[in-house]
Amino acid sequence: MTDTKTLPALPPASAEDLALIAGFEQAMWLEEGLSANTREAYARDLADLARWRALGSAQGDSLRTLTAIDVSRYISERLSSVRATSLNRKLSTLRRYFGWLIRQGQRMDDPCGQVKTARAPARFPKAPSEAQVEALLAAPSTDTPLGLRDKTMLELIYASGLRVSELIGLRMVNVSLTEGLVRVTGKGDKERLVPYGQEAGHWLTRYLQESRPLILGGRLADAVFVGQHGGAITRQYFWQLIGRYAGAAGIDFKLSPHGLRHAFATHLLNHGADLRAVQMLLGHADISTTQVYTHVARDRLKRIHAQHHPRA
């Protein structure tokens, strides 16, 4: 499958279209607080549409006046070979853009209204088993300050289901040892409180009391997890840590920080957690995002049925 970045080059977008895109991008920041990465992705999608329109393929004289026929032709000519997930993301951009125009009173209808979402194949996240996670958590040596730090990071991300950006972004003011909670800022700059349990709390307390002061060596830092130079741990560095400890634990597939987040959700559901509760813990704005895990709940119910029903 190809994506639009591999398609033939298009002429530049018009100044009017670029101004519309800039206005939409700014509105997504002011009205909805979307992250810079999300806004840039929206702008790229709309810029591709604007360049296609500049070919003269569309009846509309700007991105403000495109018709349903224009949108259908754009999808057919420009997006027919992209993956279903990429197509749906681009359609989401267009719907959001035309919805903004409607709210602004710049048009009355959504030309994407009759466009159907593409059916994407089910993709279940690869999550390590509970035994594999136990082996991973046992891999760091807690006899050294850095080993204790690494152990604590792994325990906390598994116990709380944090995104890697949320983990490395933790500041000392975000941690409550007495309440067993961390305050994290997730996607869309939305804050949430996440519990981490007794085991992770034990290692977090030890790290903060024993290891972090030694790593800092008298320096001051706001970040919870720090490197030898006193700065916060980077995403890349944490990826390397997980890869190294996964190898030491005998995990035979490439494990990522997101894989531990998947393990957090999967293991909660395996032990009877409610999908809505998992949604809140993960910080998903929409339950549909969490529903990728419903296959876990179905498998668990099948096992319960097979084990306990007299005619299973």
- Give me the catalytic one of 83, 171, 284, 300: 284
Question: Cα torsion at 276, 277, 282, 283 (round to 10°)?
Answer: 70
Give CA–CA dist 205/195, Å, rounded: 14
Q: Is 271 a catalytic residue?
A: no
Q: Is 44 a catalytic residue?
A: no
Token duo for residue 126: 């690869």
Residue (of 295, 297, 302, 292) closest to 274 by Cα position: 297
Give CA–CA dist 47/230, Å, rounded: 41
Write down the residue that tokens 């159907």 correspond to: 116
* Cβ-based neighbours of 100, under 8 Å, separated by 6 or more: 24, 27, 28
Q: Is 293 a catalytic residue?
A: yes
- Give me the catalytic one of 83, 183, 235, 258: 258
Q: Is 163 a catalytic residue?
A: yes
Please check whether residue 29 is in contact with residue 39, taking contact to mean a CB–CB distance below 8 angstroms: yes
- Give me the catalytic one of 187, 235, 295, 300: 187
Q: Is 151 a catalytic residue?
A: no
Q: Is 187 a catalytic residue?
A: yes
End-to-end Cα spacing for the chain: 43
Identify the burial level of 263 via C-beta atoms within 10 angstroms of its C-beta, where 0-12 means exposed, 13-18 middle and 19 or more buried: buried
Please check whether residue 257 is in contact with residue 164, taking contact to mean a CB–CB distance below 8 angstroms: yes
- Give me the catalytic one of 163, 212, 262, 267: 163
- Give me the catalytic one of 149, 212, 261, 262: 261
* Complete DSSP assignment for 238-285: HHHHHHHHHHHTT--S---HHHHHHHHHHHHHHTT--HHHHHHHHT-S
Catalytic residues: 163, 187, 258, 261, 284, 293
